[in-house]
Amino acid sequence: MNGTARTSLRGRMLLLSLLSAGVALVLALAGLGAREYLASRGDLEERLAVLARIIAENGAPALAFADERAAADVLATLRSAPHVTEARLFGRDGEVFAQYRGAHAGSALGSVTARREVRLGSDRLGELVIVADLHELEARLAGYAVVALLTLVAALAASALIHAAMRGRVAHAEEALAELNRTLEEKVRSRTAELERAVSELEAFSYSVSHDLRAPARAMAGFAGILREDHGAALPPEALRALKRIEDSATHMGRLTDDLLEFSRTGRTPLTLAPVDMRALAASVAQELAGPEASPVRIGRVPPARGDAALLRQVWRNLIGNALKFSREARPPVIEIGGERRGAAVEYFVRDNGAGFDMKYAGKLFGVFERLHSPEEYEGTGVGLAIVQRIVQRHGGRVSAEGAPGQGATFRFTLPA
């Protein structure tokens, strides 16, 4: 939104709010004014009717005794009612018997008239007509109009003030929001850069740690082996057992550092993308791991993918290796491999009929060093599936697993076609 558009929008909003407030107020005031007019007029008519009754009563004897002066005197008492402009007393014959003229000359709002028969006893003597102007009503309405106008002006001024106050606060909030938007992207960029730096530092660190730990681990395993072979006969069985444990631990540590290095390398080496024959790759890995004869591995339809062949080989190796490892108790073990296109991606699976796992641990499967089984049951470092996830994610794919204890497991991963 640019400045002028915002200004004109605000102007229109102010106008609109003033207009709606003004219209509502004018309607309300007009309604009250009309009510005031009708009520006042009704009141005036009632008062005039009462006046006519009194004058007719007082004037009746004058008419009865044909006393014109007395009749005029009675009518003259109307002087105390300044709104009466005219009064006429008609005799029985319809002729004007007496009349009175007030000081006022009528008003723009017109006049009200009261008629009253003049009676004495059972005799109808004539008729009295009194006309009053609406000066009083005019003055009242004028007063009302002044009050209404002042109310209108005050209300609109108050409305404008409130609007201005609100507009100030809204403008302030708008500016703050725009400022926040401006800084937010910058913040995200700088935080991302910081995070990337931290991650790469961490990876470099873990790589160098793994690398540096490898040589001492090998040395320990090597020298423990030499000690056992050359001097094993001289050692008591207790010492031999301890020596065996040192050797095993050092060997395990060596594997751990190897795997960590591998894991680290998969995150650091740049991807070399090319079309990959996934079926040939899987078959080669299966033969390498299970041997050429009596292999439990059945390879179905496996579509090709686009990716880094060396890394994808690592994926097959880890998944097929896992399947072989966890299904070795099965009679007979069966491992199925396959895949199919799903839109722009290809989904592959490796299914075994081995130990399986509880689905509530499915989230932990792909974490580094996460193991669902003890090393005594199934050897391993807990890094293999983490490497699989990292490679697949670097290709822009996803990994998932399903299974049940004792009923085998199925691992799936997707790659771009």
Partner 1 sequence: MRPQPVGEYELKAAYLYNFALLSEWPEGALPAPDAPLALCVLGRNPFGPSLAALEVKTVHGRRLEARQVPTAAAARRCHLLFIAAPELARASEIVAALGDAPVLTVADSGAAERTPAVITLGMHGSRVAFSVDLGAAKRARLRLSSRLLRLAAGVAGAEEAR
List interacting residues with partner 1 (CB under 8 A): 57-58, 60-62, 64-68, 70, 120-123
The smaller minimum CB distance to partner 1, of residues 123 and 379, is found at 123
Q: List strands edge to edge, sheet with 84-90.
A: 96-101, 84-90, 123-133, 111-120
Reading the block at residue 366, the tokens are 């792909």
The smaller minimum CB distance to partner 1, of residues 46 and 123, is found at 123
Place of tokens 């109307």: 78
Reading the block at residue 261, the tokens are 């290095």
The alpha carbon of residue 149 and the mean position of all alpha carbons in its chain are separated, in whole angstroms, by 45
Q: How far apart are CA 260 and CA 239, in angstroms?
A: 31
The 8-class DSSP code of residue 57 comes to H
The smaller minimum CB distance to partner 1, of residues 70 and 213, is found at 70
Query: What does the DSSP assignment read for 237-270?
Result: HHHHHHHHHHHHHHHHHHHHHHHHHHHHHHHHSP
Least distance CB 59 / partner 1 (angstroms): 9
- ∠ CA 384-327-372 to the nearest 5 degrees? 50
Least distance CB 65 / partner 1 (angstroms): 5
Least distance CB 68 / partner 1 (angstroms): 7
Phi, psi angle pair for 100, to nearest 5°: -140, 140
The smaller minimum CB distance to partner 1, of residues 57 and 262, is found at 57
Least distance CB 61 / partner 1 (angstroms): 5
The smaller minimum CB distance to partner 1, of residues 120 and 160, is found at 120
Least distance CB 111 / partner 1 (angstroms): 29
The smaller minimum CB distance to partner 1, of residues 80 and 122, is found at 122
71, 97 in Cβ contact below 8 A? yes
Q: How far apart are CA 352 and CA 297, in angstroms?
A: 9
Q: How far apart are CA 210 and CA 220, in angstroms?
A: 15
Least distance CB 98 / partner 1 (angstroms): 11
Least distance CB 51 / partner 1 (angstroms): 17
78, 98 in Cβ contact below 8 A? no
Contacts of 211 (CB under 8 A, 6+ apart): 257, 261
Least distance CB 100 / partner 1 (angstroms): 17
Q: How far apart are CA 153 and CA 25, in angstroms?
A: 10
The smaller minimum CB distance to partner 1, of residues 58 and 400, is found at 58
Residue type, 112: V
The smaller minimum CB distance to partner 1, of residues 70 and 129, is found at 70
